[in-house]
Amino acid sequence: MSRPADLAAWRKAKRTELLAVREAVPLAIRRGRNEIITQLLKNAFDGLAGASIGFCWPYKGEPDTRFFLHEMRRRGSRGALPVVVAKKQAMQFREWWPGAPTTPGVFDLPIPQGTEIMQPQALLVPPVGFDAAGYRLGYGGGFFDRTLAACTPQPLKIAVAFEISRIETIYPQPHDIPMDFVVTEKGVAQVCDGKLVAIDDPAQVRPIAARLLRERAAH
């Protein structure tokens, strides 16, 4: 595919299109797909028990990763929600638990108040779209890209999306950061050598994820 002459306009239009498609899915169907995704996350990433996990409050028909997070919290993990500090700056992550004090933030999504600032070991990232190379199309603010670029060590980056959000390419730019894994209701894929590679058995993800976390923590 040839790159659009006006990439910003193309991304804006594609974002609008993908959001409309996602939000048009009936709630019952979306919930069924979400249950499949939750089970895949449990099977593939149960090794994150005890780890700190960043996630996003579901927005505009996104998969709801809170079900997976609740399971991991029962197994000793800590959850954290992103907080927009200022435009064109990396986000903070603050610890969240059911009942934690929150106030409405960007998009009226809850942000924790006065809880511990954390650097999650793993991030559950909600894309508007994702492509064959593991890049994500976000909401246009660039917050996740700036946040990931500032993270040392890099967290385990897990895009969680519905299959209808898959596109051929986002035409990635130098600031775009690929994910490590993409999870949809169709299965789990790892980003290897610039392309998504499907993993037949989600349990095969466990040693891969553990190795990535070890290697990054050592640097």
Task: Read off the pLDDT of residues 12-36 as tens digits, 9 standing for 90 and up.
Answer: 999 999 999 999 999 999 999 999 9
Q: How confident is the model at residue 63 (pLDDT cuts 50, 70, 90)?
A: very high
Q: What pLDDT sits at residue 147?
A: 87
Phi, psi at 83, each rounded to 5°: -130, 120
Handedness of CA 122, 78, 130, 177 (dihedral sign): negative
Q: What pLDDT sits at residue 144?
A: 84
What is the fold, at CATH topology level, of the domain defined by 7-217? Rossmann fold (3.40.50)
Q: Please list, in sequence order, all residues whose beta carbon lies within 8 angstroms of the beta carbon of residue 76, skipping any fewer than 6 positions away.
A: 49, 50
Helix (H) or strand (E) segment spanning residue 94: strand 92-96
Closest CA to 69 of 42, 94, 43, 47: 42
- Token couple for 55: 């996630």
- In this prediction the pTM is 0.94
Mean pLDDT of the chain: 93
Closest CA to 50 of 76, 74, 70, 79: 76
Cα distances (angstroms) measured from residue 123 to each of 29, 44, 52, 182, 206: 25, 14, 9, 12, 15
Q: What pLDDT sits at residue 157?
A: 97
Q: Which amino acid is at 25?
A: V
Helices (H) and strands (E) in the chain, counts: 5, 13
Residues 82-93 have a mean pLDDT of: 84
Domain segments of the chain: what residues? 7-217
Q: What pLDDT sits at residue 99?
A: 93
Taking the C-alpha atoms of residue 205 and residue 203, their distance in angstroms, rounded to an integer, is: 5
Q: How confident is the model at residue 1 (pLDDT cuts 50, 70, 90)?
A: low
Helix (H) or strand (E) segment spanning residue 191: strand 187-192
